[in-house]
Amino acid sequence: MKFNSRLGGITAAFGLAIGISLGGAAQADPLNVQGVSDDEWRFTLTPYLFLPVSTTGTSVVADGEVDVDLDLSDVLELLNMAASVRGEAWRGDLGLVLDAYYVNLGGGSDFTGPAGVGSGRVDISIKQGWVDLLGAYRLYHGSYDDTGRLASFDIQAGVRYNNLRQEVDASFDLGPGPGRQTTLGGTEVWWEPVIGARGAMQLNDRWTLGARADFGGFGAGGNDLAWKVLAGADYRPWENTSLKLGWQVYGIDFSTERSDGEFAYDVVQTGPYLGLTFGF
């Protein structure tokens, strides 16, 4: 079954909340650019939001492939709920990262049959969530100039739990007699490995520049590759709180076979991200 790109593109929006926690300064800094004792724990909690201004690629449900081409207004129109948060715990050069994400999207469209005969409706529901559990190690921490401004670099590795639902409900009324209803797609669940790296460079007591990249999937569970590359700035207006803003590019290439045909999602998204980090 083929769907128009506007309706089929609902599946493209499920990356809405993927985000980042870049390094900041002082107590709100998960990279610890100002340094703490190996005997002290430092924690950060970052609610965040990724706003894709462009989503392009293809989506497949039950062998029905549609081209995806959405802007931010399309994504927001389809959004029912989105939540995402990243937590980090550091002690010296060792850290733990927990990153959780959930989004619920949906929409539908009525249609009329050829020559005005019969009618129907197609509804698409998308629910997607994942949880990252990563270990981190800080490879470098120190001053990069004569003023004492600091830089830091760490690597991460771990696992990601994924839950993706793409479901299409189609109902048809062709005239006298009972109508027909069909449900296509369903839910896929899988685990995959994740690796990543992150760096930060302090500009002054309030501003820090940072960048991060991570890669997951590598064929596990049907996900050939999921990746994020992002860069931005962290502004610390208060001792234990910082604001994050920047730009992110995200891609995923997932495909598997179900009883009703191919189930796939292959898109690239780009747009700004926003976050608020609390340190304690």
The SS3 assignment for 118 reads coil
Residue by residue, pLDDT tens for the chain (280 residues) are 333 444 444 444 433 433 333 333 333 454 455 555 567 888 999 999 888 899 899 889 989 888 888 888 888 888 888 889 999 999 988 999 999 988 888 887 776 766 566 677 888 887 888 899 999 999 998 888 888 888 999 999 999 999 988 888 888 776 665 667 788 888 999 999 999 999 999 999 899 999 999 999 999 999 999 999 999 999 999 888 999 999 999 888 999 999 989 999 898 989 998 999 998 8
CB contact at 8 A, 198 and 169 = no
Q: Which residues of 102-131 are buried (b: 16+ CB within 10 A; e: fewer)?
A: bbbbbbeeeeeeeeeeeebebbbbbbbbbe
pLDDT at residue 37, as a whole number: 58
Give the residue among 152, 132, 195, 161 at the shortest CA–CA distance from 42: 152
Q: Which residue has the tokens 């899988």?
A: 190
- pTM score: 0.81
Paired tokens of 172? 């048809």
Give the position of tokens 């909690």: 45
Residues with Cβ within 8 Å of 255's Cβ and at least 6 positions away in sequence, in order, are 60, 222, 224, 262, 263, 264, 265, 266
Closest CA to 197 of 15, 23, 36, 33: 23
Q: How does pLDDT run across 111-167, given as a tens digit for each residue?
A: 676 656 667 788 888 788 889 999 999 999 888 888 888 899 999 999 999 998 888
Q: Is 172 within 8 Å of 179 (Cβ atoms)?
A: yes
| pLDDT attached to residue 201 | 92
Measured distance CA(83)–CA(103) in Å, rounded: 6
Query: Taking a C-beta distance cutoff of 8 angstroms, is the pair 53, 247 a contact?
Result: no
For residue 198, the one-letter residue type is R
- What's the burial of 275, exposed, middle or buried (CB within 10 Å: 0-12/13-18/19+)? buried
